[in-house]
Amino acid sequence: MYRRIKLIYLSLIEIGTIFRLIKETKDSQNPIKFSIWFLQRILGFNRFVYWPVHFTSVIANYKNIYAGIDTSPGYSPGCYIQGLGKIYIGDYTQIAANVGIISSNHSLTNTKEHNISEVNIGKYCWIGMNAVILPNVVLGDFTVVGAGSVVSKSFDEGYCVIAGNPAKIIKKLKKEECKTFKNKNEYNGYIEHNKFNEYKAEFLNV
């Protein structure tokens, strides 16, 4: 009970800064909203995750997950982000609803054991609705994953559209036509980007 009261007290302290974050991220791809913050910090849905998460999404082992600038896996509803192994997601990568990102699988011969691996997703990627990214996958920058795809192998060169089960390249993108951008105010979730390395070193395993 005391712990819960303490958490609520600390969350109330955040109200002093939450409206600034709302204002400074309103033009971003994953804007911080009071409703998401309230469900997360006050009511406890994914309370300790450092980026905004929809209350229907599940984030497992957030300390093993690196979420880049303006990248919030699970911001859309129904996602499952499983960080038993490490997951790295680059800046300005967007993830649609009902996406699964899986960093480990059960052993084929002993379902009590997991084979731990990693997932690496680059910058400026787009993961379409109902897509599943499986362990050991590397996706390079500007990889677009079609809705409903199952990605079981790497496309580390990026600059492509992949789709299907298993996913394969259906279109290559011209690097010179792919536009990068930066937000005026850069945040890794709720944390100012210029303070994120300090946070990462203290609290994360990535």
Question: Is 114 in the active site?
Answer: no
CA–CA separation, 185 and 17 (whole Å): 14
CA–CA separation, 35 and 163 (whole Å): 34
Q: Which of 54, 106, 114, 193 is catalytic?
A: 106
135 burial level (CB within 10 Å; 0-12, 13-18, 19+): buried
CA–CA separation, 41 and 114 (whole Å): 31
CA–CA separation, 181 and 25 (whole Å): 15
CA–CA separation, 29 and 22 (whole Å): 12
Kindly list the catalytic residues: 106
